[in-house]
């Protein structure tokens, strides 16, 4: 474990740099995703099918009402519960909110989440081994793969994550108030492999 964790304030984000094993290639890389718009779309009662039609007409996305990622281009709909999706798009949140409001306001409640989460892409040759210590799900390729998603607890922290590709790489959306605790838990889990925190980050 990086010695900085012993006296680094628990309320601060883990600083960029190497943590844990320092020699050789980093086994896990944590890369903050910036300039990403996020919004929660919750279908109104009996309107889930209308939300699906709106997603298809507006974004060309065949929406799945399940813990899956449906995407087209830079827009993704992540199923986080029945009739609930975490929507992400690059760049920025204002354009995403405007597009969602124009087409979805009659069938869904829309909440801006752009500043509410720290979004991290996690990858590297040992990312699966590190996440096995944290994630209470079977991440074996036969059970969890690209386009699979989960809204779950990781180190007692409520968050959403989904698999981006076969590498594998994962994207985590962590509530900002829990981000320091999540990063410390990640650093502990990845210490034996070496964790490289990319930057910059926002508090």
Q: Per-residue pLDDT averaged across 8-32, rounded?
A: 87
Q: Which residue range forms the structural domain that includes residue 25?
A: 4-33+116-197
* pLDDT at 202 (0 to 100): 43
* pLDDT at 56 (0 to 100): 96
Same domain, 75 and 88: yes
* pLDDT at 93 (0 to 100): 58
* pLDDT at 1 (0 to 100): 46
Asked if residue 163 is part of any domain, the answer here is yes
pLDDT in tens, 50-107: 999 999 999 999 998 999 999 998 899 999 999 999 999 986 657 888 889 999 999 9
For the chain, strand residue ranges (E) read 17-19, 28-32, 37-43, 69-72, 75-81, 84-89, 108-112, 117-123, 149-154, 157-165, 169-175, 195-197
Residue 60: closest CA among 50, 70, 68, 48? 70
User: Is the per-residue pLDDT at 194 higher than 90?
Assistant: yes
Asked if residue 155 is part of any domain, the answer here is yes
Same domain, 123 and 177: yes
Give the CATH number, domain containing residue 62.
3.30.70
Last residue of some domain: 112, 146, 164? 112
Same domain, 153 and 192: yes
Asked if residue 203 is part of any domain, the answer here is no
Query: 161 or 2: which carries more pLDDT confidence?
Result: 161
pLDDT > 70 fraction of the chain, expressed in percent and rounded: 91
Asked if residue 93 is part of any domain, the answer here is yes
DSSP state at residue 14: P
d(CA 185, CA 44): 36
Q: What is the mean pLDDT of the chain?
A: 90
pTM: 0.90
H runs (alpha helix) in the chain: 4-7, 48-59, 94-104, 127-132, 179-190
* Pair 78, 89: CB distance under 8 Å: no
Q: Count up the domains in the chain and report the number.
A: 2
* pLDDT at 59 (0 to 100): 92
Last residue of some domain: 112, 146, 163? 112
* pLDDT at 3 (0 to 100): 54
* Pair 187, 194: CB distance under 8 Å: no
Asked if residue 186 is part of any domain, the answer here is yes
Asked if residue 55 is part of any domain, the answer here is yes
Same domain, 78 and 139: no
Same domain, 61 and 120: no
Asked if residue 202 is part of any domain, the answer here is no
d(CA 201, CA 22): 21
Same domain, 22 and 61: no
């Amino acid at each position: 474990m990086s010695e900085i964790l012993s006296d680094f304030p628990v309320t601060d984000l883990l600083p960029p740099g190497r943590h844990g094993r320092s020699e050789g290639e980093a086994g896990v890389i944590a890369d903050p995703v910036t300039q990403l718009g996020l919004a929660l779309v919750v279908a109104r009662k009996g309107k889930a099918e209308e939300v699906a039609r709106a997603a298809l007409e507006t974004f060309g996305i065949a929406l799945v009402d399940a813990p899956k990622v449906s995407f087209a281009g830079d827009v993704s709909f992540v199923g986080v519960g029945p009739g609930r999706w975490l929507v992400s798009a690059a760049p920025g949140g204002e354009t995403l909110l405007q597009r969602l409001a124009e087409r979805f306001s009659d069938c869904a409640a829309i909440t801006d989440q752009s500043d509410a989460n720290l979004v991290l892409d996690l990858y590297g040759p040992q990312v699966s081994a590190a996440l096995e210590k944290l994630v209470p799900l079977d991440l074996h390729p036969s059970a969890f793969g690209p386009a699979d998603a989960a809204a779950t607890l990781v180190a007692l922290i409520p968050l959403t994550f989904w698999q981006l590709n076969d590498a594998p790489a994962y994207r985590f959306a962590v509530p900002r108030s829990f981000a320091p605790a999540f990063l410390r838990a990640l650093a502990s889990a990845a210490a034996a492999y070496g964790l490289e925190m990319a930057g910059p980050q926002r508090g």
